[in-house]
Structure 1
Amino acid sequence: MHGQLAFLSQRMFNTPLAIKREKAEVVMASLADRLGISHIGRLDGSTISPMAFGAWDEEYESDTRAGRVVDPGYDMIADTGIAMITVRGTLVQKLRSLRPYSGMTGYDGLRQSILSAHADPGVRAIVFDIDSPGGEVAGCFDLADTVYALRGDKPMWSILSESAYSAAYALASATDKIIVPRTGGVGSIGVITMHVDWSKALTASGYQVTFITYGDRKADFHPEIPLSKEAFEAAQADINTMGELFVSTVARNRNLAADAVREMQAACFMGENGVSRGLADAVMAPDAALLALLAELA
């Protein structure tokens, strides 16, 4: 458990995130509670509990010599030629799993699954089954570029089984078509980072931390000290750069003007609202969207 907390903490604090703000706050509060920082907030922890759907199965870890099947990372819908790739929960750069695991999906696993499905002669079309608030910036735009470069060979649809926000939307936008349900959402085209200042809590507990550094900026962003003006400005500059990369990526993928994407100010749009903004192509339930894809393949 402590290892998992360290893993999540490293990926949530002092690192740029393309994640819906409300989700970032929920995970931050949950981690704070588990780390004993009760003044930030208390939750029941359910938001980062292991996933029931699409979880990694140990049988896939073995090789063919043991007589077991090697998981390709996608599921074939019987008699259709459609490969379905699941994108669930918080997105992270490296998870070392082809499937969503413990509430997270790794860009590394997604890349392998996407390339495998694309190379599979039995696959006629690829569906991204997405329900995610987003996640890490690291790895997101490289994967989006990979998906975008595969356009034109096999149809690739993002069928949302509720929402695709932030980094998840960046990936969805790279596919040929985005289908959102009536109560689902798209957008949150922005970047956020969180710095936790523990200095007052440490002082109140009788601790004093002294950093001895070579280089005036070496201790930037450490939680044991307040965030300096220089560190804040450096972080804001990086966030702005990544935000503009996000805007230009979505503008390219969706054939939208960059100014139109920028003016959305990282807002989220539900159902038809997302379609009217050019962020999705149609409002349908997931099963209806699959039937529409089958009709297109016929």
Structure 2
Amino acid sequence: MHLFPHLSQRILNTPLALHPQKAEVAVAALAERLGIARVVRADGSSIVAFDDDEEWSRPAREPQRGYDLVSGIAVIQVEGMLVQKTGTLRPYSGMTGYDGIRANYLTALADKQARAIVLDLNSGGGEVSGCFDLVDTIHATRGDKPVWAICGDHAYSAAYALASACDRVTVPRTGGTGSVGVITMLVDYSRAIAEAGLAVHFVHYGDRKALEGRQAYQGVKKDLLARLQADVDAMGDLFVETIARNRSLSVASVRAQQADHYLGAAGVAAGLADSVMAPDEAFAALLAQLGDA
């Protein structure tokens, strides 16, 4: 049985700035796909195996422009699960890489044809790794060009962190913002392994080497949970402080949200968004600001 390692390593045992419902969807998708594996070759082509008898390869996508220029506005798509690196400039296979967003953003800043930049957001969040460095890059370049975060639907957690760094955040009536928190999932396989009559033995150097992995197979102890909680708390504090800085809010007020998420106007009231607008209305408002009205 294949174990779908590429997806599992991005979801399990790693901190995520991800809306809880989106985390559940990701875990459910992983469970359904046990027995499916995707292997990426060194030349960029991929092999997808659905069972032992069916597999095929396909070449990597052809290089393409990373953003669209619409009336002189660079529109950068931010969709699906956010991950540190995909090696692509656009959303691909349900993921968007921080590497692609960064490349697009910096290119658009230098693009003389781009008078403004829009992050077109529809994401429940994703990995912590790589997120806050990109957020700081966007925040540090405020004022170079107008940068708007236009939520097509929702921008939660890591996606909201990116939105918060922009000059203006708009959200539709039925869209959402917030979920300023961090979550990590540690799966304990020990009972299932014991019931199957199996035992897993680790040979390692260093008492803390692969501690999470060892306890996942041999039984999770309270000291490991406490250690992981401390790590998550540290990342959560960084998240809260970053949002407070970006949105000119007090740290206490952001922390008091307790990673809640807000629909439409409630996000504006909480200070997380600036206005309730449909995406086309928000785009028209940006054009008007640029003098195209």
Same-fold call, TM cutoff 0.5: yes
What is the aligned partner in structure 2 of residue 237 from structure 1? Answer: 230
What TM-score results when the alignment is normalised by the length of structure 1? 0.86
Residue 229 of structure 1 and its aligned partner are, at CA, apart by 1.8
Residue 224 of structure 1 and its aligned partner are, at CA, apart by 1.1
Counterpart of 2:8, as a letter, is S
Equivalent residues in 2 for 1:32-51, closer than 5 Å = 32-35=31-34
2-structure distance, mates of 1:172, 1:2:
37
1-structure distance, mates of 2:21, 2:124:
9
Counterpart of 2:186, as a letter, is H
Residue 225 of structure 1 and its aligned partner are, at CA, apart by 2.0
2-structure distance, mates of 1:120, 1:213:
51
2-structure distance, mates of 1:272, 1:280:
8
2-structure distance, mates of 1:228, 1:258:
33
1-structure distance, mates of 2:277, 2:26:
30
Q: What secondary structure is seen at the aligned counterpart in 2 of 1:112? A: helix
Q: What secondary structure is seen at the aligned counterpart in 1 of 2:62? A: helix
Residue 290 of structure 1 and its aligned partner are, at CA, apart by 0.6
Select which of 72, 82, 99 maps to 1:91: 82
What is the alpha-carbon root mean square deviation over aligned residues?
1.6
Contact 1:87 1:105 in 2 (8 A): yes
What TM-score results when the alignment is normalised by the length of structure 2? 0.88
The structure-2 alpha-carbon separation of the partners of 1:212 and 1:59, relative to structure 1 and needing over 3 Å to count, comes to: closer
Which structure shows the higher strand fraction?
2
What is the aligned partner in structure 2 of residue 52 from structure 1? Answer: none
What is the aligned partner in structure 2 of residue 123 from structure 1? Answer: 114
Identity of paired residues, percent? 57
Residue 57 of structure 1 and its aligned partner are, at CA, apart by 8.4
Contact 1:76 1:84 in 2 (8 A): yes
Deviates more, 1:251-260 or 1:203-212: 203-212
Contact 1:220 1:227 in 2 (8 A): no
Contact 2:2 2:34 in 1 (8 A): no
Matched, 1:143 2:142: no
Q: What secondary structure is seen at the aligned counterpart in 2 of 1:28? A: helix
1-structure distance, mates of 2:139, 2:179:
20
Matched, 1:75 2:68: yes
Equivalent residues in 2 for 1:1-298, closer than 5 Å = 5-35=4-34, 58-60=61-63, 71-77=64-70, 80-222=71-213, 223-298=216-291
Q: What secondary structure is seen at the aligned counterpart in 1 of 2:217? A: coil
The count of aligned residue pairs is 266
Residue 204 of structure 1 and its aligned partner are, at CA, apart by 1.3
